[in-house]
Every structure is written in structure tokens, then in C-alpha cells.
Structure 1
């Protein structure tokens, strides 16, 4: 969606730039023509005043503006009464006599000079000492052509910039896409490597209980009537339950759906979770302290959060085999709810802290290593985060941050 929005924005900007460049170029011609017409009107007024001040028209011979190619005054008979070229004074207009009606109207046209230059010709009626004349004014188009050339250059630059911009964008897009594919390939390889490592650890975890089950079953099969077979059968059941627990945790960790979030009070959930572990805490001589506001609402999947809390409380109780104190505290913090599970058990070595949330990492002799990894996945799937701090001999503090209900 973001890429489509960027593409649409680029197309819109490109269309605007191209429209502006074409519009500016198309307006350059009329603007240049208006500039020439304005200059011609100004020169006509100046020539008319000079001619009125000097009826002999001799003063006009010294009038040489740089933009004027030539100018002439034609009477109603079509005779040049004045021309920038002295040799043409008194001659008749080559295209015929100037009629009375022609002296009453102005016109403008484009002409080609003898040098091959294209010029602008402006004809306007003027009055000199009460006698009507037709002023024929021919102007060079240097400055007006410069306006057109500048507009053409601007359009060329804009089009070139747009083309270069799109080529650069295309190149960057291809580079970004290739980089993205490269990162995806690296992530896939890393996932495959983790999967291989996970498979090896899973095979190791499953092989140990299977070996025990196989050995006990062989003893029972060899001497089915012995009295000790009852204990062996119980060992088979214990190992089978261990395998079932491992498979269940593995399936939970592999699940992708976080479940539908809903709003619920956190205090009853914590009390219920701790009550489930109450017998283990009593047997282990562990005191439990709870502190949670009665009205603290969170928005998560209740069953998954209960599962994560149960794992964390169970881990804390296991860390205090010789007894201790477990504190479960929840409090609001802005838009989040913070749950702290603190124990004073044996703690975790500093070198193991970066690995505690990795699947199948465990320091227990019979642990699966999926408990904390599963807790992390559940919490993050519900829009929260989990952290762990621990020191050997001092205990462990696990902090869960969950989104509060709006």
C-alpha cells in the first residue's frame, strides 16, 4: 500500500511538472507577441510625436532604436513620405497604393527581411499636422525569440529532470527490491539454520524419554510377573506424559494465531493463575504476595495471557526449591499495564541471559526450553513486550507490558 501511494504521488507530481512545462512553453509565444505589440505601440507614439514636432520629418532620420529594423510613413496615395532608407522616400509602395480604408486600421504580420531574418511588422494609422499617414514599423524579434527559447529550454530541462528522476527511482526501486530479496534469503537461511538446530534439540529431548520407555518395556516384556514391574510401568507413564507435554508446548509455540483480543480485568486473572500454583507454593514453602488494582483493564487474549502467567509463576516456584518469596505486582503505566513477577531464587547466570527466550534453551536437567520462548511469543502477539533481569543468588525479575483497554 505504501509503495502504491508513493507511485501515485510520483505520477501526480510528474503530470503537474509536465503540464506546467508545456503550459509555460505554449504561453511563451503569445507573451512574446504581446511584448512586440507593446513595444510597437510605444514606438508608434514616439514617432507620431516626433513627426508632429517636425512636419519636415527630418528629425525621424536620427531616430534609430535598436529593436527597429526600419519604419516608414505612407500617405493615402501609397507614396513613402518617409523611410529609414533615404532612397525609398518618394517611391510608391511595392504592393500597390494605400487606400483610404487601410489608413484607418492597424495590422500586424510576420515578414522576411532581405537578409533572411524573420521580423515583426506593425502598421498603424497616425496623424501628422492633420494629414493621415500609415506608419509601417518593422521590428527585430531578438528579445521575443529569447522568451520563446527560454521557455523551450525550461520545458526541455523539466522533461529531462523528470526522465532522470524516474530512471533514478526505477534504479533505486530495483536496488531496494534486490536488497529486500537478499534480506529475505538471509532470513530464510537463518530460519532454516534455527529449524535445523531446533530439530536436533527436539530429537535429543524426545530420544531420552523414548530410551527410558523402551528399557522399561523390555524389562516388563522379559519378566512380566515380577513385582517391580509396577514401578516400571509408572515410569513409562511418567515419560509418556513428559513427551506429551513436550509435544503440546511445541504445538503451542508453532501456532500462528494469537487469538481474538478482548477486554478483561487483570486482577481476577492473576489471582486465578496464582491459585492454580498454590499447592506447589505451599509444598515448597514459598510465600506469595499479590498486588493489582481491581479496575485495571487490559485488551489481550485472556487464555493466552493466562498461559504465559502460569508458565512464569511455575518457573519462579521451581527456582525457589528451598523456599522463598514470590511477588506478583501489576500497575498501570500510561497506555500499558505492567506486570512484574519477582522471585528470590537461585537466579540465572549472566552469560545465559541473552539466550533465555530462545526456543529449547534451558539450564534444567529435564526442561523443554520452550516455556520462556512461548511466553515471549504470546506477549508480543498480543501487542506487548517481555523482559527478564536476573543475578545468580539474588533472584529473577520478569516484566510483562500489556496494552490497556481503551
Structure 2
């Protein structure tokens, strides 16, 4: 969507620039025409003033202007009464159409091409004297007046080129970014495949061990059905099957993304429920369970999934203290966050194992699946939170941070 917005904005800006350039160029020619007509009108007034002061027209021989190519005065019979080219004075104007327009009621101007091939501006008007009316033929150079057209044309070409170069560079950048994106996707896919391969190898190893035990005990029962150890072999088969069932359950929990709808969850209830479930096992291991959680702390999430996280971590803490100890669960608010701290006084985790503690199938237990903490991390991140583990000898601290609300606030 963002790429589409950028594309639309780019096209819109480009079209605006092109419209501005072409519009500016179209407006330049009428401006040049107005400048030429205004200059011709000014020269017409100056010539008329000179004729009124000198009816002999002798002073017109010294009349000059920067953009003036030539000018002439013609009577109604078409005879040149004055011409910038002295040799044409007294000759007749050959173009009858020009003669008629000279004595028309309105003044007019048009672009013409001289015999030399030069573009010029021809202005036709008339001058009233006390004795007669003379036609005025003014021919102006257009170079200076057309500067506005040349400037507008140059501006249009530059803007067209800049737009073209901009789109070319944008295309190059897009191709480069697309190539980089495809490269990142390819690398991510390779990394994902590598992780899947590693996970598959670990999964095969975890499944193979219980299957090997089941197979061995089943073969023993098959060969010696009346043996007194058959009951023990059957018990072990059931144990290995339960181990496989636990592995499959953990895999399904790790893969799924459900667990109910998100809702406001009172943390005190979740913590107490998880601790109560582990209390019998903790009493057998002589582990004291201590809970410090305010009753008004609430998080929005999936109750079953969050309960699974707390139960897994409390269970790990209890199992880390086979010789007894204390497991303390502390919950407090820190700004918009709720911080859950679970601390045990067990044997701790070695530094080399801390780095891999959230890796799927990594476990330090003899018969663990290695999915418990990986699942906890996944669930916490699904709730826009974070989880971290610090360990020393003795003791391990698990810290969970979740977005929280108070019961008096709107969820």
C-alpha cells in the first residue's frame, strides 16, 4: 500500500511539473506578442510626435530604436513619403493588401519573414497630420521580445529532462531495492529451511528414542509373553507413549496461534491458579511458594496462553530445586508495563546454556522436550511483550514484561 501511495504521489508531482512547464511555454508567446505590440505602439507615438513637429519628415532620418528594422510612411496613393531606405522614397508600395490594411480603422501587427529569412514583426497603423493621413509601416526585430519564449522553452526542456532523469533514477533505485528485497527474502528462506532442517533433526531424535524403547519392550513381550517382567515392560511402553504424547502436545502448542479471544485478565488470578497447580509438587520437593501480586493489575490477552506461560516457568523453577528452596513470584506495574518476576533458589543455568535457553528442542533435562521456554517466548511476544532470563549459582530469575492496564481503566 505504501509503495502504491509513493507511486501515485510521484506520478502526480511529475504531471504537475509537466503541466507547469507546458503552460508556462504556451503563455510565453502571447506575452512576447504583447511586448512587440506595446513597443510598436510606443514607436508609433514617437514617430507621430516627430511628424507633427516636422511635417517635412526630414527629422525621421535620424530616428532610431534598438529593435527597429525599418519603417516607412505611405500616402493613400501608395507612394512612400518616407522610408528608412532613402532610395525607396517616392516609389510605390507594390502590395495592395498591405496598402488597404495601412488605412484600416484599427492598428494591427503580425509576424512576417523578411527577404533575408529573418523573423520580424510587422505593425500597420496610420498617422494623422493637419494636411493628410499617412500609413505607418513598422518592422521590428523579434529577438529580444522572443527571449521570454526561449527562456520558457529552455525551462520546459530542462523540467522534462529532470522528470525523465528522476523517473529513470527512481526505476534504478526500485530495481536495486527490489533485488535487495528478493535477496533478503531468499536469505530468510534459506535460514528458515536451515532452521526447519535443524528442528527436523532434533524432532527425529526426540521421537526416535521413545520409539526405540517402545519397540524394544514390545519385542521383549512378544518373545517372552509369560515372563514376570512383562508387566514392567508394558509399564515402560505406556511411559514412552506418554512421552511421545507430551512431545506432540508441546509441538501443537508451539505451532498454533489460538487459545481463545483476547480479554482483560486479572494477573493475581492467573498467578494464583498457576501456583496452586504446582503447590502439591512443590510441597513434595520442600519448595516454598511466595506470591506478591497487587489485585488491580490487568493485562489484555488470551487467558489460557498466558496461564500456560506462568505454569511452565513456575514448574521449571520448582523442578530446579530438588533439594528444596523458595520460589517467589512478584508482579508490579512500571508505567504502562506490567512486570512479572519469577525467582528461584535452584542450581542456576550455565552461561553457555543461557544463550540457547529459548531455542526449540534445547533442554538440560534428561527427558524434556525442549519446547517449554520456546513456547513461553512465542506466547509472550504474541502479546507484544518480552521475556528474559538471568541466572547465577544459585538462583534463576525470569522477567516477563507485558502491556498492562488497571481495573479502573478502559481495556
| TM-score computed with the length of structure 1 as normaliser | 0.91
1:52 corresponds to which residue? 52
1:61 corresponds to which residue? 61
Is the 8 Å Cα contact of residues 103 and 132 (structure 1) preserved in structure 2? no
Is the 8 Å Cα contact of residues 102 and 124 (structure 2) preserved in structure 1? no
Instruction: Name which of structure 1's ranges 41-50 and 311-320 shifts more when overlaid on structure 2.
Output: 41-50
Is the 8 Å Cα contact of residues 68 and 141 (structure 2) preserved in structure 1? yes
In 2 relative to 1, CA 197–93 (structure 1 residues): closer, same or farther, beyond 3 Å?
same
Alignment partners' CA distance in 2, 1:117 and 1:283: 113
Alignment partners' CA distance in 1, 2:79 and 2:365: 121
Deviations 1:242-283 (A, max 9, x none): 111011101211224575322222221222122111112222
Alignment partners' CA distance in 1, 2:102 and 2:82: 20
Aligned-CA RMSD value? 2.4
Any residues of structure 2 matched to 1:170-319 within 5 Å, and which?
A: 170-257=171-258, 260-319=261-320
In 2 relative to 1, CA 334–87 (structure 1 residues): closer, same or farther, beyond 3 Å?
farther
Deviations 1:70-96 (A, max 9, x none): 122233443333221122223332224
1:378 corresponds to which residue? 379
Instruction: Name which of structure 1's ranges 300-309 and 168-177 shifts more when overlaid on structure 2.
Output: 168-177
Alignment partners' CA distance in 2, 1:319 and 1:100: 114
Q: Partner of 1:139: helix, strand, or coil?
A: strand
Instruction: Please say if 1:10 is aligned against 2:10.
Output: yes
2:84 corresponds to which residue? 84
Alignment partners' CA distance in 1, 2:341 and 2:276: 17
In 2 relative to 1, CA 257–137 (structure 1 residues): closer, same or farther, beyond 3 Å?
farther
Shift of 1:360: 0.9
* Pairs aligned (count): 406
Q: Partner of 2:144: helix, strand, or coil?
A: helix
Instruction: Name which of structure 1's ranges 337-346 and 212-221 shifts more when overlaid on structure 2.
Output: 212-221
Alignment partners' CA distance in 2, 1:99 and 1:187: 86
Any residues of structure 2 matched to 1:68-147 within 5 Å, and which?
A: 68-96=68-96, 98=99, 102=103, 104-128=105-129, 131-147=132-148
Q: Partner of 1:144: helix, strand, or coil?
A: coil
| TM-score computed with the length of structure 2 as normaliser | 0.90
Is the 8 Å Cα contact of residues 383 and 403 (structure 1) preserved in structure 2? no
Alignment partners' CA distance in 1, 2:155 and 2:77: 48
Alignment partners' CA distance in 2, 1:229 and 1:99: 133
Instruction: Name which of structure 1's ranges 126-135 and 68-77 shifts more when overlaid on structure 2.
Output: 126-135
Q: Which runs of 5+ in 1 are unaligned?
A: none
